[in-house]
Amino acid sequence: MAARVYEFNITVNYPTKENEEEFDNRAARAVAKILCETLPIDTIDEIIKLYKEKTNK
């Protein structure tokens, strides 16, 4: 018996230059929500500290 082949039509919508900042803000809010739901505050503070150190270099 042959394996069944599935075909999918996938559309990826990237933000336009006008919407890029709003897209980034929405993505950041989604990540923050997940972090707050899954990690203790001390761990989140450590992640923020490491991120700031990395981006200031």
Long-range contacts of 16-25 (CB under 8 A, 24+ apart): none
CA distances from 52 to 11, 20, 40 (A): 34, 22, 19
**Looking at residue 38, what is its pLDDT?**
95
Interval 1-57: pLDDT, tens = 678 888 999 898 888 888 899 988 998 899 999 999 999 999 999 998 998 999 886
SS3 at position 40: coil
Backbone φ and ψ for 39, nearest 5 degrees, come out as -120, 150
**Nearest alpha carbon to residue 45 among 56, 54, 35:** 35
Domain ranges in the chain are 17-56
Kindly state the DSSP code that residue 39 receives in the 8-state scheme.
Answer: S
